[in-house]
Amino acid sequence: MNYARPTSVAELMRVRAERPEWSLVAGGTDIMVPINFGRRRPTGLIDLSHVPELALHQFDGDAQTIGSGVTFGVIEREMRSIAPALAMAARTVGSPQIRATATIGGNLATSSPAGDAHPALVACRASVEVGSVRGIRTISIDDFFVSPGHSALEPDEVVLSVKVPVPVHTTQQFAKVGVRNAMVISVASLALAIDWTGRRVGVGLGSVGPTPLRAPEAERCLERLLWPEDATGRAGAESMTAADIEAFAGQVRAAAAPIDDVRGTANYRRHVVQVMAARCARRAIAEGMSQCR
Ligand SMILES: Cc1cc2nc3c(=O)[nH]c(=O)nc-3n(C[C@H](O)[C@H](O)[C@H](O)COP(=O)(O)OP(=O)(O)OC[C@H]3O[C@@H](n4cnc5c(N)ncnc54)[C@H](O)[C@@H]3O)c2cc1C
């Protein structure tokens, strides 16, 4: 098999343009599975693991930029305080061995509706920077996923980085249900991000639609409950009732568009996103309130 090992982004873009039919390989935890089983035989591989720029991550005060080659192990260990939902999601990816090599760029490019990074990126309103010899462009996470296994990436484009906005005061949660507790693809997953400063709520859902989904009506519902027009400060959060939380969770359930498959039925998936939504909302609100005291 042909093999290229670029050592800079500029070289990577050049090789990608010259060999668009070759496959990119980062951690190899997705692409090597069909290759090992003989179901896929790319004419060549372009190895991303020696491009140092892709392994960088930095916080600039407003956002965390994460190179596409950053592994879930690094995200799990180093981004707990800065991108909590994403770090929680990272912790559920495969095993420690998988997390040591699986990258966020590979997760995005695979574009599985079950990719664990995706709900957190949706909830946090992340954006994806992609590049080719034609230039660099930024794609909103809401426009990145097109259909199962397909993203907005053009054939010659490479995911360079992901930018995750970091509000001054945010509380976030991630929940995932699988057929067992570890080493499992999700039956349903959910991320919730509350931006207490900007008064915005983000809800991302995984494995309950053809692509990762946003739940806009649920977001508006929780925003109205947390910050009602006739209340100031934390009054909305303080007066939140169990029925309010269930109203939000019901809106999340309504946003899901699941199917029956080997991992679970559509009805079960609707049920678990509702349960996860209520649980995550209670936790994120309680944490936000305790930090305000
Ligand atoms: C045992 C096991 C358990 C797993 N558990 C989970 C899990 O719990 N949750 C989960 O979400 N996933 C899981 N996965 C899937 C996989 O680990 C993740 O999707 C991972 O993030 C893929 O990243 P990678 O770097 O290994 O990608 P690779 O396998 O190297 O590449 C995946 C695809 O993305 C393309 N690609 C890679 N990088 C780029 C880039 N920068 N730009 C454009 N295209 C690119 C490749 O060409 C390929 O098509 C598991 C896999 C295994 C084998």
Q: Is 254 exposed, middle or buried (0-12, 13-18, 19+ CB in 10 A)?
A: middle
Residue 291: is its pLDDT beyond 90?
no
How many helices (H) and strands (E) the chain has is answered by: 12, 14
Residue among 129, 176, 179, 200 nearest 273 (CA): 176
- What is the rounded CA–CA span in Å between residue 175 and residue 104? 18
| Percent of the chain at pLDDT exceeding 70 | 100
Residue among 153, 128, 163 nearest 142 (CA): 128
- What is the rounded CA–CA span in Å between residue 95 and residue 241? 38
pLDDT tens digit string along 109-126? Answer: 999 999 999 999 999 999
71 CA distance to ligand 1 centroid (A)?
Answer: 10
Number of the ligand 1 atom closest to the C-alpha atom of 33: 53
pLDDT tens digit string along 24-36? Answer: 999 999 999 999 9
Residue among 185, 202, 216 nearest 280 (CA): 202
Q: Is 178 in the pocket of ligand 1 (CB under 6 A)?
A: no
Type and span of the H or E element at 35: helix 32-36
pLDDT of residue 293: 60
Q: Is 119 in the pocket of ligand 1 (CB under 6 A)?
A: no
pLDDT tens digit string along 180-205? Answer: 888 889 999 999 999 999 999 999 99
Residues 6 or more apart whose CB falls under 8 angstroms from that of 58 comprise 64, 65
- What is the rounded CA–CA span in Å between residue 88 and residue 90? 5
Mean pLDDT of the chain: 96
Residue among 148, 130, 285 nearest 206 (CA): 148
Number of the ligand 1 atom closest to the C-alpha atom of 184: 8
pLDDT of residue 165: 98
Residue 240: is its pLDDT beyond 90?
yes
DSSP 89-121: HHHTSS-HHHHTT-BHHHHHHHT-TT-THHHHH
Q: Are 147 and 106 in contact (CB under 8 A)?
A: no
Q: Is 29 in the pocket of ligand 1 (CB under 6 A)?
A: yes
pLDDT of residue 28: 98
Q: What is the 3-state secondary structure (H, E, C) of 204-268?
A: EEECCCCCCEECHHHHHHHHHHHCCCCCCCCHHHHCCCHHHHHHHHHHHHHHCCCCCECCECHHH
| β-pair type (127-132, 63-67) | unpaired
259 CA distance to ligand 1 centroid (A)?
Answer: 23
Backbone angles phi, psi at 208, to 5 degrees: -125, 25
pLDDT of residue 218: 98
